[in-house]
């Protein structure tokens, strides 16, 4: 091979490498693709929502989640419903209960939304939740929560690889200072991020949710990484 041909070949290989997606941007799916799940918050963890410049909301009761992957998404997306209990915050030094409009009790937060299977942190399994915009009433204040949140699958199938059959997993959401961790999936660029935002009146800021959930499937599930 002449020197000119070698240079051209090297340029072609380099261009191809830059055009290829990152290997870690694989996704994962479940089978059956319409798998149904339910779950509760892990004992002692509850649900804590911290928003910059706003009171911290803590739900210390037994919290519940339910949902399902949708067959049409081939087991990569679905919907969820969240039921948080015994929710309160400290406003001006006084404890007040927090609830969503229409919730059955004064300290209950109800919300719902969709989710997508993602990979994070170099191929580890994660999930992105997209809740509907949710208004939470704490005493005289109403806070609106919207945006996205990325969670880690901590126990069960931990990373992409061969198919794994499992019927129970633990999902964790964490962060500090109003910034969720992780903020990016493997397929996102460094300029992109997924985070929650809280709005009170005309002001707004980022929000952090900390919680740990144990999810149970209605039947054994095959977790497959592409």
Compute and round to an integer the Cα radius of gyration of the chain.
21
Whole-number Cα distances in Å, 176 to 3, 4, 62, 210: 55, 55, 23, 9
> For residue 120, what is the enclosing H or E element?
strand 109-120
From first CA to last CA, the distance across the chain in angstroms is 37
The mean pLDDT values, 10 residues at a time, for the chain of 226 residues are 41 38 62 93 77 84 92 93 92 87 87 94 91 90 89 76 78 85 89 80 77 90 82
Residue 26 is predicted with a pLDDT of 60
Structure tokens at 140: 């005289």
For residues 135 and 207, give the distance between their C-alpha atoms in angstroms, rounded to a whole number: 14
Give the distance, in angstroms, between the CA of residue 197 and the centroid of all CA atoms in the same chain.
14
pTM score, two decimals? 0.81
Residue 180 is predicted with a pLDDT of 86
- Of the candidates 103, 101, 89, 37, which has an alpha carbon nearest to the alpha carbon of residue 60? 89
> For residue 131, what is the enclosing H or E element?
strand 124-131
Residue 161 is predicted with a pLDDT of 65
Domain ranges of the chain: 37-225
Name residue, tokens 């509907």.
132
For residues 76 and 67, give the distance between their C-alpha atoms in angstroms, rounded to a whole number: 13
Residue 116 is predicted with a pLDDT of 95
């Amino acid at each position: 091979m002449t020197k000119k041909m070698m240079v051209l070949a090297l340029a072609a290989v380099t261009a191809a490498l830059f055009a290829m997606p990152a290997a870690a941007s694989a996704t994962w799916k479940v089978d059956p693709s319409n798998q149904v799940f339910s779950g509760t918050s892990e004992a002692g963890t509850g649900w804590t929502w911290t928003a910059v410049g706003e009171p911290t909301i803590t739900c210390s009761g037994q919290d519940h989640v339910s949902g399902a992957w949708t067959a049409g998404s081939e087991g990569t997306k679905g919907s969820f419903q969240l039921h948080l209990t015994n929710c309160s915050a400290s406003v001006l030094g006084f404890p007040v209960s927090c609830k969503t409009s229409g919730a059955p009790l004064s300290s209950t937060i109800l919300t719902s939304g969709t989710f997508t299977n993602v990979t994070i942190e170099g191929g580890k399994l994660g999930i992105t939740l997209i809740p509907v915009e949710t208004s939470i009433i704490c005493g005289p204040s109403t806070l609106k929560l919207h945006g996205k949140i990325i969670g880690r699958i901590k126990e069960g199938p931990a990373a992409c690889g061969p198919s794994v059959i499992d019927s129970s997993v633990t999902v964790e959401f964490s962060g500090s200072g109003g910034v969720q961790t992780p903020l990016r999936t493997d397929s996102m660029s460094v300029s992109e991020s997924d985070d929650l935002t809280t709005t009170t009146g005309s002001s707004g800021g980022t929000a952090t949710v900390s919680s740990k959930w144990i999810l149970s499937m209605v039947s054994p599930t095959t977790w497959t990484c592409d």
